[in-house]
Amino acid sequence: MMKKTIILLFITTVFASGCKKYLDVNNNPNQPTVVTPNVVLSAGLTGSAVAVGIDFNAVNRYMGFWSRSGNYVADAVNEQYQFNNSMTDADFAEEYTVLNRYHYIETAGTINGLPFYVGVAKTMEALHFSRLVDIYGNVPYSQAFNPVKYEKPKYDDAATIYGELITKLDSAVTVFQAAATYYKSAPKTQITTDDQYDLIFGRGAGVAPALRMTEWIQLANTIKLMLLLHEAAPGVITDAYRTAEIAKITANGAGYLPAGLSAAVNPGYSNTSNKQNPFYAFFETPTAANVALGEFRANSYAIGFYNMGSDERGNFFYGAPYTNGLPQGNYDGDPNSLTNTVTSQIGGDGDQAAYGATLANAGTLKSSAQDQLIISDFESLFIQAEAAQRGWITGSAATFYKEAVEQSFRYLNAGLYGTGDPKDDADDYLAGNGNLTSPTNTDYVVFAGAKDPLGVIMTQKWASLNSINPISVWTDYRRTGYPVSSILSISHSTTHVKNAIPTRYLYPQSELNTNSANVPVITAPAQYGLIFWDKN
């Protein structure tokens, strides 16, 4: 017994000192546990690209852009508007996942004194939270991103969140202004690094920091003006508040995203698995055409509008097969939907041979390496056109409108007709001459002397953002009522929950499972509940 005790004592003495060290092998060698904000910024921006590019893509169906193909079975959820809670689980989570990256950037950027990162984080947070509010109304905001303290974050009032986002954008502008000063004394390596990870305005190294900061301020201003427009309906916010907020934008002097400057992300997309542009990847894989091209087909609503004004863009939003040189689609939910042998796929480059044109980089599916638009210049111009039309900002609504449509044509490289310069085709179209045949109706094309100028702007915005930013279009539709029902109406399914396009998504099932006490109850049918700015 004595010997045993001695042996044990010996072992204990020898090992006790070394033991702590012996166990010190739990440091993760596979993944970093601390990273600098720059690498999170690139991840944040590509995350935003995915979210804007393909999340909530069923909205393309409600907005008359996409329809189901006759080769696929009916989808009651989207065609009969039988919304359920689980349909947006993944998209809801994705928004917060991306926001969590910006949240980290904002925190780490503030601690490390890197104003540029703080500014980008605030700007992108405003964009994503406004999307969430526009889709769901009240959402977790003030208690988000704190899994320790707030495992079940409360839902904040949607209008309050909007107000805070507007303030956040102001503060983003201030930070960008500070960043411009910061870069004057920053080491070159810092500038180069920040350039490289700024996948929107960095455009590779070499952009002068001051210019870059101005461009970010322009994006922040554009988003802010967009949010104020979302609140345009009477009684949502006071005129005084609006005027004061717009005055702040005007005061910073940077203006809005101009023609030729889109906020678009490109980390170096290429035709490799997981490295393709997300919208492109939704339809095609590097080695084979994907079935998603077969699953969704052109929607007759949008085609009807393009044909009515003889708008060649229809041939760029939609691809082969064409019928008599024009895209052919289905009304979503139509029980007699045509099969894929006759209906156009999503994304086209015109029926170029038929028009003797050779247009590279055309349409919405240009290549696997294309930029992913976050807010395009034409969207910015439409925003400015609407604000000018409402008399909120100076400048001519007609000019903004014209530029917007021209930039839309340019984005698609739609130049089948005429000289091959898309701008000329746009101008012809805007003049009511049409591109391909004789237009039958130009009520929502020609701005000069239009009976309903706001309707013209909003309808063209809808027609330009086809497949590009369906959420933005859906929000516009809900708050303004454009496009009118003669242009866009409900799916052609035989039955609907209600004969109207849904006005919101239901809260995700994942939230009901994990945070049910806080999830607001929306009166059934919840898909027809109204977001706070929806006074229509």
List the beta bridge partners of residue 346.
318
Indicate whether 46 belongs to the interface with other proteins (CB under 8 A): yes
Instruction: Give the separation between CA 113 and CA 119, rounded to whole angstroms.
Output: 11
Residues between 511 and 530 with contacts to other proteins, criterion CB under 8 A: 511, 513-515
Indicate whether 320 belongs to the interface with other proteins (CB under 8 A): no
Per-residue tokens: 56: 């909530």
Indicate whether 43 belongs to the interface with other proteins (CB under 8 A): yes
Indicate whether 119 belongs to the interface with other proteins (CB under 8 A): no
Residue type, 372: Q
User: Nearest distance from residue 182's CB to other proteins, in Å?
Assistant: 22
Indicate whether 150 belongs to the interface with other proteins (CB under 8 A): yes
Residues between 179 and 198 with contacts to other proteins, criterion CB under 8 A: 196-197
- Which helix (H) or strand (E) segment is 443 a member of? none
Closest to other proteins by CB, 96 or 355: 96
Instruction: Give the separation between CA 478 and CA 480, rounded to whole angstroms.
Output: 6
- Which helix (H) or strand (E) segment is 362 a member of? none
Indicate whether 267 belongs to the interface with other proteins (CB under 8 A): yes
Closest to other proteins by CB, 74 or 233: 74
State the burial class of residue 430 (Cβ atoms within 10 Å of its Cβ: 0-12, 13-18, 19+).
Answer: buried
Residues between 339 and 358 with contacts to other proteins, criterion CB under 8 A: 339-341
Count of residues binding other proteins (CB under 8 A)? 83
User: Nearest distance from residue 40's CB to other proteins, in Å?
Assistant: 6
| Residue 335, helix vs strand vs coil | coil
Contacts of the segment 198-206: beta carbons below 8 A, 24+ positions apart:
198/41, 198/45, 198/116, 198/120, 199/41, 199/42, 199/45, 199/46, 199/265, 199/266, 199/267, 200/45, 200/263, 200/264, 200/265, 200/374, 201/263
Residues between 215 and 234 with contacts to other proteins, criterion CB under 8 A: none
Instruction: Give the separation between CA 133 and CA 157, rounded to whole angstroms.
Output: 9
Indicate whether 247 belongs to the interface with other proteins (CB under 8 A): no
Instruction: Give the separation between CA 96 and CA 523, rounded to whole angstroms.
Output: 25
Residues between 64 and 93 with contacts to other proteins, criterion CB under 8 A: 71, 73, 84, 92-93
Closest to other proteins by CB, 181 or 514: 514
Stretch that binds other proteins, among 36-44, 108-116, 390-398, 485-493 (CB under 8 A): 36-44
Indicate whether 131 belongs to the interface with other proteins (CB under 8 A): no
Cβ atoms of 198 and 121 closer than 8 Å: no
- 59, 169, 199, 229: which one binds other proteins (CB under 8 A): 199
**Taking the alpha carbons of 454, 455, 457, 458 in that order, is the dihedral positive or negative?**
positive
- 25, 247, 360, 521: which one binds other proteins (CB under 8 A): 25
Stretch that binds other proteins, among 251-259, 262-270, 376-384, 487-495 (CB under 8 A): 262-270
- 9, 17, 151, 250: which one binds other proteins (CB under 8 A): 151
